[in-house]
Amino acid sequence: MHIETIVVGPLETNCYVVSCEDPCCGAEAIIIDPGGSPERITGYIERSGVSPVLIVLTHGHSDHMASAALLAAKYSVDVAMHGDDLDTLDVSVADAPAWGLGTPDKVTVTRKLSAGDSIEFGGEIGKVLHTPGHTKGGISLLFDGVVFVGDTLFAGSIGRTDFFGGDMDTILSSIRREVFTLDDDTVVYTGHGPATTIGEEKRHNPFFDGTL
């Protein structure tokens, strides 16, 4: 599996293009959180020759979905997101200009995800973890040895909970229950900033401070 990190939009969101490296799989790929700068995303796709088959949104904030409608139309692919975040998506489209993201096209979510669902492309299979708290329908996406957490967890921090649908107790519970139960060497790909590991965050993240 190849993971390409593309930093997009004014809030420097990490968009991930995750592709199958097995030549038998036709270079199928998923796009996670295309939050702006569509030309950077399409440029990479054209240069690399990968074939997008699905867009996955970890949550509905505009800095994670601003390019989703455009890319879904360009590549004729579905957009997948947890059903509990549809309201967040509507609020975020309206709020996008305030974050410097213009007015993104409204995204039609054609695949509603739930905890335990599978995301499959090429020879890869990912599992959907429901990790609310930053938003009501936030998800993390777990593959073998790696997890994409959106804005649930960061290197040395956690996602904000003062937006629509956010809740501090819920996000801390989500991290403890769904994320920190993964193997310590699992690589954590975050919605902003550098990657980290489960072990590093369990040991040093100040929001937990040894209270796991």
Read off the pLDDT of residues 30-65 as tens digits, 9 standing for 90 and up. Answer: 999 999 899 999 999 999 999 999 999 999 998 999
Which of 191, 211, 24 minimizes the C-alpha distance to 201?
211
Q: What does the alpha-carbon distance between residue 183 and residue 165 come to, in Å, rounded to a whole number?
A: 29
Q: Which domain holds residue 43?
A: 2-204
Q: Is 173 inside a domain boundary?
A: yes
Q: Is 210 inside a domain boundary?
A: no
DSSP state of 135: S
CATH of the domain at 196: 3.60.15.10
Q: What's the total number of domains in the chain?
A: 1
Q: Is 171 inside a domain boundary?
A: yes
Which residues have C-beta within 8 Å of that of residue 142, sequence separation ≥ 6? Answer: 126, 127, 128, 129, 182
Q: Is 212 inside a domain boundary?
A: no
- Tell me phi and psi for residue 55, to 5 degrees: -110, 130
Q: Is 41 inside a domain boundary?
A: yes
Q: Is 96 inside a domain boundary?
A: yes
pTM of the model: 0.93
Q: What does the alpha-carbon distance between residue 194 and residue 154 come to, in Å, rounded to a whole number?
A: 8
pLDDT for position 122? 87
Q: What does the alpha-carbon distance between residue 13 and residue 34 come to, in Å, rounded to a whole number?
A: 8
> Which band of pLDDT confidence, cut at 50, 70 and 90, is reported for residue 119?
very high
Instruction: Tokens for 10, please give them.
Output: 């004014």
Q: Is 126 inside a domain boundary?
A: yes
Q: Is 145 inside a domain boundary?
A: yes
DSSP state of 105: P
DSSP state of 177: I
Count other Cβ atoms within 10 Å, centred on residue 35: 31
> Which band of pLDDT confidence, cut at 50, 70 and 90, is reported for residue 29?
very high
Task: For 68-104, write each residue's pLDDT tens digit.
Answer: 999 999 999 999 999 999 998 888 877 778 777 777 7
Which of 129, 104, 109, 106 minimizes the C-alpha distance to 119?
129
